[in-house]
Chain A
Amino acid sequence: MYDIVGIESPDTLEAAIEMLSNNPNLKIIAGGTDVLVQMRNGALEEIALLSLRNIPGMADIRIMDNGTISIGAMATFAEIFRSSIINEHLPVLSEAAVSVGGPQIRNMATIGGNICNGAVSADSATTLFAYNAELKLLSREGERTVPIEEFYAGPGKVNLQPAEILTAILIPETGYRKTSGCYIKHSTRKAMDIAMLGVSVVCKTAGGKFTDVRIALGVAAPVPIRCREAEAYAIGKETSSEIIREIGRYAVRASRARDSWRASKAYREHLIEVLVFRALKEAVIRDGGEDIG
């Protein structure tokens, strides 16, 4: 059951930081699609909540003067996959957003909650890794910006300081300009499911060669990861079927998959190889390349 002892709904960020600083036990709630589930499972007891819903502007999606795209932490997945900015510049994030849960969940679930919850299966995380996203965090000490890769600390753990709020996700222009990409979520069901493996690739090509490749995996290690070795191998290589297959094999090296009743290590590693190939192949096609089979 929902063991809630109180809820605060401040209408400014400053007030929210103040409340959090004064009461370290306050639990932030955004869409509540993780918090409430944890509460119902008995993982959170006698909880006082702090809701971010009344703070204006926290769901804004915009392009700043320097070309950086800023996505408010409170933007829901429904807002994200319908946003023209996202669809034009970060289509892979749109693809990831629409893969989340079902319509009701996408209407409630926020991208900030998805990241701060720290799940390795978070559908937005892999893609944000691939776009080189940064996180804007605010606390009494002020604002800090950290690359998303540094934010993940372990399964379900993130480097959020006490009384700190994620306000926005920033994608610098170099992260997305002239890129193509693809997100593949492998799950048993086509909706209302968590990824057994998530593969997100973002790449740039020139003259039939890869000039930039970023590959991120979800559920391949305790936290979402980038496949640096595979990425390095790809640079300057032709966008051919053999090369992309090889990149898939390299990607497996970055993973630390394990056996569980949900899927075996062998199967996950096999999927990494196959799905990195498929995602990158699709990214090349979307980039105007041909279907290399």
Chain B
Amino acid sequence: MAFEIVGKRAVRKDAAAKVTGRAKYADDFFERDMLVGKVLRSPYAHAIVKSIDTGKAKALPGVEAVITHEDLPKLKYATAGHPWSLDPGHRDVADRYILTDKARYVGDGVAAVVAVDALTAEKALKLIEVEYEVLPFVLDPEKAMLPGAPVIHEERPDNILGATSEEIGNIEEDFKKADYIFEGVYETSIVQHCHLEIQSAYAYVDADGRIVIVSSTQIPHIARRIVGQALGVPWGQIRVIKPYIGGGFGNKQDVVVEPLAAAMSLAVNGRPVRFALTREECFVDTRTRHAMKLYLKTAVTKEGKLLSLHMKPICNNGAYASHGHTVALSAGGKFRLLYDFNSMKYEPKTVYTNLPSAGAMRAYGCPQIFYALESHIEDIAREMKIDPIEFRKQNLISVGKKDPHSDIVVRTFGLRECIEKGKQLIKWDEKLEKYKEQKGIKRRGLGMACFSYASGTYPHGFEIAGARVVMNQDGSVQLQVGATEIGQGSDTVLSQIAAEVLGLPYDMVHVVSQQDTDITPFDLGAYASRQTFVSGAAVKKAAEEAKRKVLEIAAWKTGLSIEEMDIKSARIVERKSGSEICTLEDIAMESYYDRLNAAPIEGNASANVRTNAMAYGVTFAEVEVDMETGRIEIIEIYNVHDSGVIINPLLAEGQVHGGVSMGLGYALSEQLLFDTNTGRPLNNNFLDYKLQTIMDTPDVGYAFVQIPDPEGSVGQKSLGENTTISTAPAVRNAVLNATGIAFNKIPMTPQTVFEKLKQNGLL
């Protein structure tokens, strides 16, 4: 396929608005007499709220309302940003109230204040008197599953939120046949998204009595439904508006602040109330990435053929379900299409603990799974003295491979080329040779890791997207999408697809960036790297409809058939000769003003995408380890992706930069820590939570292997989340190469490296 606009480095649609400060975020909107809401949080990890006395707080001048669970409907709801399921067996776990009557982690909201300003609200919080019955608590999921552990939700006396077992083939038989069996245990830590813009919403009741919520969300249509469920209000009574948002990475694929913002407004007769979290609150009261402990056992033949894999992740879910077990389940469907195991058994358990809730975060369980899998594969190759790259290559799947559980078929598979490209970029063979016998204080090493990922959630999830194209008099169009731009660049890429299909210059597509559930076509939102693949299908369909209507008018005018014409650079041309028939503007003007036939051109489409496309990639890393201080420096790092057709290389590179930086934090420095004696967070701020800065981020190299996927509307597959999956295992494997030490737990902070060096007698 030859493209005009797809594949070009088109400048982001929102670039000017963002760099000039004209883009408005939730906090930039003001209503007259806006009030401020704040939350009183439990100081205990596990405690029953016996009574709350709000009298003194209510008496403070400037306080407009104080609410507790007693003032709110007793409705349990689920917060995950998934489409609703008509099948009750397929729904998210509804396990929370807007304000709780039992605190399940330090920071759980027990009361809220609405006041004239933030300072007054904070003073009022201190005046609320809560009587708690403090309960024993548990932070470790393995301990939470033991008999006699504190019960966090009565509905789940064993604290197990989800436990599943999926087997392909027969692992027992394959383990019997194995020449070698390898076992490994790998652990990851709790980390957070650290989007620049913290969750913020404001709510009011409009003149028609409907609740309007302006929120920094990835999922406006889903948020509307969940607020309706939490408040017990018909969904149509709620309107959610999503302005520009400053990042989400999955943390805003969850309904966190909106129900309480609405409840706050309702408590003051519908006056506008702003409810914005602080960074410290964001760390505890939004979502985190599940910490996992993964038990792996692998059967291998003496020729180095991977026979069978048994993987058992224990996922620390924290206090409330949020996305819960879906994260582990979904990741299971993604890693199975990488290596050609004869049999596999995947048995994840997701467990409640008295910690902040884990939910969706970029690549949804895969960074954990691939950290474990790619560390394990590396360890096996080393153990068997097979070159780790060759070992991987001889076990890769090939095109046509089908996952028997999901029925996903691999149609395009560019991973082999990705590996070759990565090897060349980092000068693998040459450097490996050079770094063979190192004795010094600073030692270098190389490592790599592969991954597989899906494009959207089908078939586990339901994938619907909506788009509308409205043509103006001059032939330009407004593109309305239900997909949310959250910084990933979907507005730009979807505009490119619309321009490509419609034969328009890119500048003639005006994308409406704001989503408003009253106006915007129905779409589930931004997650699962679905927008380009799934929403792209809806945009293509809507654009095709508009194009057909244009050509129908042209056909009626010229007597040519639709098939004989095309639109090129906003002109109607005859396909055969390429000669211009008229301008698009001529047609558009007729569509508006022809006295007989006027009908302005629109394309309206909903796409229910019942397919998926497996995407692949690899990270190659070179590190330098300071054998005295335990510091790990990244010398070079490359990501090579098989994501089908790259619609916008500029944005794709940006995704790689961001994803790798996030992956490096995961590998080296980030982790949310809790006091084991109290369950209190130790480092819920950016001083102590070591998010990497630009000074810590090396130059990130990239390359793309572009094989058009037949099911992508323009040959594309996923990319956004993919970029962060293989960083940590590649760095870990490079450190192993440099030092001979296998780190089976991340992050590899200088302190932990020091300890390992000591343990191994290297210090």
Contacts and interface: CB of A to CB of B under 8 A. Distances in A.
B693 A274 contact: no
B690 A188 contact: yes
A270 B754 contact: yes
Contacts of A188: 669, 690, 749-750
A184 to B, nearest CB: 10
Contact of A267 (B683, B692, B751): B751
A1 B695 contact: no
A1 B119 contact: yes
A110 B628 CA distance: 33
B693 A1 contact: no
B460 to A, nearest CB: 38
Interface in B676-703: 682-683, 686-688, 690, 692-696
Contacts of B630: 267
Interface string A1-22: 1110000000000000000000
Interface stretch (A56-64, A85-93, A144-152, A257-265): A257-265
A189 B119 contact: no
Interface in B660-688: 669, 673, 675, 682-683, 686-688
A244 interface: no
Contact of A271 (B629, B688, B694): B629
A191 B693 contact: yes
B750 A261 contact: no
Nearest to B690: A188
A1 B669 CA distance: 29
B43 to A, nearest CB: 14
Contacts of B754: 267, 270
A3 B119 contact: yes
Given A194-B687, A261-B682, A274-B628, A189 B695 contact: yes
A127 to B, nearest CB: 20
Interface in A185-226: 186, 188-194, 196
A67 interface: no
Contacts of B755: 264, 267
B763 interface: yes
Contacts of B118: 1
Contact of B763 (A42, A193, A262, A270): A270
Interface in A139-161: none
B417 interface: no
Interface in B114-130: 118-119, 122
B628 to A, nearest CB: 5
A289 interface: no
A188 B629 CA distance: 11
A261 B674 CA distance: 10
Contacts of A270: 754, 763
A192 B628 CA distance: 23
A262 B690 CA distance: 11
Interface string B157-194: 00000000000000000000000000000000000000
Given A3-B119, A267-B751, A270-B754, A262 B695 contact: no
Nearest to B38: A1
B335 to A, nearest CB: 30
Interface string A254-293: 0000000111100100110011000000000000000000
A277 to B, nearest CB: 9
A211 to B, nearest CB: 28
A286 B34 CA distance: 60
A189 B763 contact: no
A162 interface: no
A274 B763 CA distance: 11
The A interface, classified by DSSP as helix, strand, loop or mixed, is loop
Interface string B748-763: 0111001100000001
**Residue of B118, B686, B693, B763 ringed by the most chain A CB atoms within 10 A:** B693
Contacts of A189: 669, 690, 692-693, 695-696
A210 to B, nearest CB: 22
The B interface, classified by DSSP as helix, strand, loop or mixed, is loop
Nearest to A188: B690
Given A188-B749, A267-B751, A274-B628, A193 B119 contact: no
Given A262-B688, A263-B751, A270-B763, A190 B696 contact: yes
Nearest to B682: A261
B718 to A, nearest CB: 31
B763 A192 contact: no
Contacts of B119: 1-3
A3 B329 CA distance: 48
Contacts of A271: 629
Interface string A46-82: 0000000000000000000000000000000000000
Nearest to B752: A267
A232 B365 CA distance: 56
A288 to B, nearest CB: 24
A10 B390 CA distance: 73
Contacts of B687: 193-194
A219 to B, nearest CB: 14
Contacts of B682: 261
B662 to A, nearest CB: 15
**Residue of A2, A42, A196, A271 ringed by the most chain B CB atoms within 10 A:** A271
A235 to B, nearest CB: 26
B496 to A, nearest CB: 36
Contacts of A3: 119
Contact of A261 (B628, B673, B694): B673
Contacts of A186: 629, 750
A192 B693 contact: yes
Interface in B723-763: 749-751, 754-755, 763
Contacts of B683: 261
A190 B695 contact: yes
**Residue of A1, A186, A275 ringed by the most chain B CB atoms within 10 A:** A1
A23 B46 CA distance: 45
Contacts of B692: 189
A190 B629 contact: no
Contacts of B694: 191
Contacts of B749: 188
Contacts of A1: 118-119, 122
B726 to A, nearest CB: 23
B751 A190 contact: no
Contact of A193 (B122, B629, B675, B690): B690
A186 B694 CA distance: 17
A264 B122 CA distance: 36
Contacts of A267: 630, 750-751, 754-755
**Residue of B119, B686, B749, B755 ringed by the most chain A CB atoms within 10 A:** B119
A93 B683 CA distance: 30
Given A1-B118, A3-B119, A270-B763, A190 B688 contact: no
A275 B754 CA distance: 14
A3 B694 CA distance: 33
**Residue of A42, A267, A270 ringed by the most chain B CB atoms within 10 A:** A267
A102 to B, nearest CB: 7
Contacts of A102: 693
B751 A274 contact: no
B123 to A, nearest CB: 9
A262 to B, nearest CB: 7
Contacts of A262: 688
A154 B692 CA distance: 31
Contacts of B675: 261
A169 B476 CA distance: 66
A189 B750 CA distance: 11
Nearest to B692: A189
Interface in B89-135: 118-119, 122
Contacts of A194: 687
- In the A-B complex, the 10 residue pairs with the smallest Cβ-Cβ separation, listed nearest first, are A190-B695, A191-B695, A188-B690, A274-B628, A1-B119, A1-B118, A191-B693, A267-B754, A190-B696, A267-B751
Given A190-B696, A274-B628, 12 more contacts: A42-B122, A186-B750, A188-B750, A189-B669, A189-B696, A190-B695, A261-B673, A261-B675, A267-B754, A270-B754, A271-B629, A275-B629
